[in-house]
Structure 1
Amino acid sequence: MSEPPVPPRKRMVKPPSGGSDAGRTPPARLKTAKIRTPSSQAWLERQINDPFAAAARAHGYRSRAAFKLTEIDDRFHFLKPGARVVDLGLAPGGWTQVALERGVKHIVGVDLLPVDPLPPAYILQMDFTDPACGPLLIEALGGPPDVVLSDMAPNTVGHRQTDHLRIVGLIETAADFAVQVLKPGGAFVTKAFQGGETAAVIAVLKHHFAQVRNVKPKSSRSDSSELYFVATGFKGRG
C-alpha cells in the first residue's frame, strides 16, 4: 500500500531587509466605513490627514478656511481694529473668528445654515439673494462697511453648466452688493474658481477699485480650482 503524497512545503517569505520606516507617519485610515460612500470616506480621510484642518482644530477655528483669510489679510491688511465688516456665507464661522481675532468689533454675517453664536458678531440665517437681506445686514451693522467678505458657494446639483452658472451668479451678486454699500477706500474679497466666466465681474471690480488681485492661498487645496478675488481701494459708485 503506497503512502499518500507529501504536500509541498510552503515557502516562508521574509520581509525585505535594509530599510526602515522609522520617522515615517503613515496616513490615518478610518476603521469603519460600512455606511459611507467611497467619496465621503476619501473626504473624511483627507480631513483627518490635512495639516490645515488639524491646525484649525488646535487653534479653535471652526474651519480650515480661517487660514485662507489669515493669509489674504496678512498680505493686504484690510481687517483693522474699528473696521465694519460684512461676512457673506459665514458658516461655520471661521472667517468671522479671524476678523474678531484681528480686532474687528462690528461684524455681521449671513448664511442659509444655522451658525453657533460668535459674540459680538450679529448672525443672520437667511438667503443672501433675498432682496431684503442686504438692508437688514447694513441696519444691523450700523452703517456702511469697510470690508465685504464672501466665501459663499452654491448648493450643487451635479450638472456642470448649471452649477457653474450658480457660482458665477453668486460672485456677481456679492460684487454688486459690495459696490452698493462699501465706504470709499474699502475692500472686497470673494471666492471664485479658475476657468470660470468671471471676466465681466473682474471688469466691474477694476472699474470701482484701485487694485484687483487673484490670490490662491497656500491653505486652499492644490487640487481645487478655488481662488479669491481681492479688490482694495474702493473708488465709489460712479
Structure 2
Amino acid sequence: MSTSGKSNKGGSRPSSNPSGRGGLKVRVKTARGRSNSSARWLQRQLNDPYVQEAKKRGYRGRAAFKIAQIDDKFNLLKKNSRIVDLGCAPGGWCQVAVERCGPGARIVGFDLQEVEPIAGVILLQGDFMEDDAPARLKEALNGPADLVLSDMAAAASGHPQTDHLKIMGLVETALMFADEVLVPGGSFVAKVLQGGAQSELLKLVKTKFKSVKHFKPDSSRKDSSEMFMVATGFKEN
C-alpha cells in the first residue's frame, strides 16, 4: 500500500505509515514486580514504530493509523462529512477524522466512558443501543450519518472462540445502529476477527450494502486476527 495516501482538495494528507523504522531496538529486562509477559509487552510497545509515531503526532494511540490506512485504501473520510465513531475512546480515530475531513465536517464520538475533549468533535457519553441514541446522534450531527465507524472490541477472555463471538456480537449491534442512522449510499467500517461466525455476519451486511470488503491495515499487529469490514453503498430501507 502507498505510504503517501490520497489527497483531498485544499491539501495533501499526512503519511499514514511511520518513517525511519530501522532504529535501535530497546531491550527490557525483567525486574522485581514485572513478569516476563509484561516485560515482553513493554518491549513491544517501546519498539513499535506506530506507538512512537502516534506520540510524535499527538494521536491518542497507535490505532489512529488503522483508520488512516483504511481511508488511504477506500477514501471514506471526505470533506464536510457527517461521521459517528462508536466506542470512540480514547479518541484516535476521531482525531484522524478531524484532520482529514476539515472544519466543515460534523464528527460525533460515542462511548460508555467519558472521553477527554477533542477539538472539532462532539462527544456523547452513553450506550449507543439505548432507544434514544439514534435521535441524540442525528441531533448532534444535524442529520443522518454519512459514515459509521466501530473499532470496538470486548475484553479478551483468553479463549479465541469466545472472543470471536463477542466481537461479532458487537459488530452486529453496531450494524443495527448504522441501519438506523446512515444516509442512503453511506458507509460502515467495523473491526472483526477472523473465524467461523464471520460468514453469517457477512451475509447480513451484504443485504444492506452494495459492496463489502475486508482489509487488514499494515498497522494491525501481524499476530492479530483482527481485520476491518468496509461496507459502502448503504441501501435505502
- Whether these two folds match at TM > 0.5 is yes
Q: How far off is 1:159 after superposition? A: 4.6
Indicate whether 1:44 and 2:37 are aligned.
no
Indicate whether 1:175 and 2:167 are aligned.
no
Instruction: State how far apart, in whole Å, the 2-side matches of 1:82 and 1:45 are.
Output: 40
Name which of structure 1's ranges 159-168 and 137-146 shifts more when overlaid on structure 2.
Answer: 159-168
Distance 1:29 1:127, change over 3 A: farther
Give yes or no for contact 2:64–2:95 (8 Å, CA) kept in 1.
Answer: yes
Q: How far off is 1:206 after superposition? A: 1.2
Give yes or no for contact 2:80–2:106 (8 Å, CA) kept in 1.
Answer: yes
Q: Provide the residue aligned with 1:30 in structure 2.
A: 28
How many pairs align?
A: 214
Query: CA deviation digits over 1:16-48, x for unaligned, max 9?
Result: xxxxxxxx8552123574333332322221111
Q: Provide the residue aligned with 1:226 in structure 2.
A: 226
Structure (1 or 2) with the greater strand fraction: 2
Instruction: Tell me the TM-score normalised to structure 1 length.
Output: 0.83
Aligned-residue identity in percent: 52
Letter in 2 for 1:134: P
Q: Provide the residue aligned with 1:111 in structure 2.
A: 111
Residue from 89, 92, 96 that aligns with 2:94: 96
Instruction: State how far apart, in whole Å, the 2-side matches of 1:94 and 1:101 are.
Output: 11
Q: Provide the residue aligned with 2:235 in structure 1.
A: 235
Name which of structure 1's ranges 221-230 and 153-162 shifts more when overlaid on structure 2.
Answer: 153-162
Give yes or no for contact 2:168–2:197 (8 Å, CA) kept in 1.
Answer: yes
Instruction: Tell me the TM-score normalised to structure 2 length.
Output: 0.83
Residue from 71, 74, 81 that aligns with 1:73: 71
Q: Provide the residue aligned with 1:217 in structure 2.
A: 217
- Give the match's secondary structure for 2:26: coil
Q: How far off is 1:76 after superposition? A: 1.1
Distance 1:221 1:34, change over 3 A: same
Name which of structure 1's ranges 66-75 and 105-114 shifts more when overlaid on structure 2.
Answer: 105-114
Unaligned ranges ≥5, structure 1: 1-23
Q: Provide the residue aligned with 1:7 in structure 2.
A: none
How big is the alpha-carbon RMSD for the aligned residues of Structure 1 and Structure 2? 1.9
Distance 1:75 1:26, change over 3 A: closer
Query: Which of the two has higher C-alpha Rg?
Result: 1
Instruction: State how far apart, in whole Å, the 1-side matches of 2:58 and 2:26 are.
Output: 22
